[in-house]
Amino acid sequence: MSLNGKLVWITGASSGIGAEVALELARRGARVVVTARRAEALEELAGRAEGISVAAGDITDHDGIARVVEGITASHGPIDVALLNAGTYTPILPEQFSADLFRPHVEVNIMGTVNCIEAVLPGMRARRSGRIAVVASVTGFAALPMASAYGASKAFLISMCDSLRADLAGERSGVGVTVVAPGFVKTDLTEQNDFEMPFVIEAPEAARIIVDGLEAGDPEIAFPRRMSLAMKTIGRWLPGPLRRRYVANIARKRHRDRARAA
């Protein structure tokens, strides 16, 4: 399905993957509406390409994000694709483990995404068309060190989407659900990592892969291929003792590298 002329709503679009996907979609002729809390960054993005409009908002504000969707629909028409990309990430070590660090992952990654789905799903079901694309992560396929909060939130999103996809298919709703599961992508969030990131790619490349997958109507867009295959192998096919040993070895290496750096 060509996205030329289609209306695509992107959350978390002020930087990183979201911003690059907005630019890629605009290049392909889509009508794009971008949402994030940083209105100035969104305006700067909109100035870089024709076809990008701004609708600032906070996905953790349940009623506020519903009003954002209502405003988009009133101004631009029905949303064809909702790319729910907004998220947060903080690496957590055992000595830092706390509810305060977990809470933003739940409020933004999980409940923020749920707020957005609640806002767009009724309209799509009523029209019997549309696609909801949720940006999760390959860490949702298998646990990684320092990602106890982030990985758990992304595993939640993958499971939620799989269930929602089945329910929507079962009722023949005409609404599709796509899980987007990136590996390491160079963004402001991954700049926090003080360890070597395997198979890391640039955000524009990630954007091209995502938009290609959306146009193909893929139920899952996991990339880079080697990273996604590795994570699925670890999380889904390795026996439990081997999986736990493998992940523990990664953690030990990162601990040694941090100790050397200190």
pLDDT (tens, 9 = 90+) of the chain, 262 residues, equals 899 999 999 999 999 999 999 999 999 999 999 999 999 999 999 999 999 999 999 999 999 999 999 999 999 999 999 999 999 999 999 999 999 999 999 999 999 999 999 999 999 999 999 999 999 999 999 999 999 999 999 999 999 999 999 999 999 999 999 999 999 999 887 888 877 888 999 999 999 999 999 999 999 999 999 999 999 999 989 899 988 998 888 888 887 877 777 6
Angstrom distances, CA of residue 246 to CA of 81, 174, 239: 38, 41, 11
What's the CA dihedral at 246, 249, 253, 255 to 10 degrees?
A: 120
Superfamily for 7-233? NAD(P)-binding Rossmann-like Domain (3.40.50.720)
Helix (H, G, I), strand (E, B) or coil at 10: strand
Q: Report the C-alpha gap between 175 and 117 in whole angstroms.
A: 12
Return the structure tokens found at 67. 């009003």
Catalytic residue flag (residue 246): no
Name the region of 243 (left: φ>0; alpha: ψ -120 to 50; beta: rest): alpha
Report domain extents, the chain: 7-233
- Catalytic residue, chosen from 9, 89, 141, 150, is 150
Considering only CA atoms, which of 99, 69, 74 is closest in space to residue 84? Answer: 69
**Cβ atoms 179, 162 nearer than 8 A:** yes
Q: What is the pLDDT of residue 192?
A: 81
Q: Quickly tell me which residue has 């700067």 as its tokens.
A: 44
Q: Quickly tell me which residue has 């659900």 as its tokens.
A: 177
**Cβ atoms 13, 34 nearer than 8 A:** yes
Q: Is the dihedral of CA 176, 181, 186, 187 positive or negative?
A: positive
Q: Is the peptide bond preceding residue 224 cis, with omega within 30 degrees of 0? A: yes
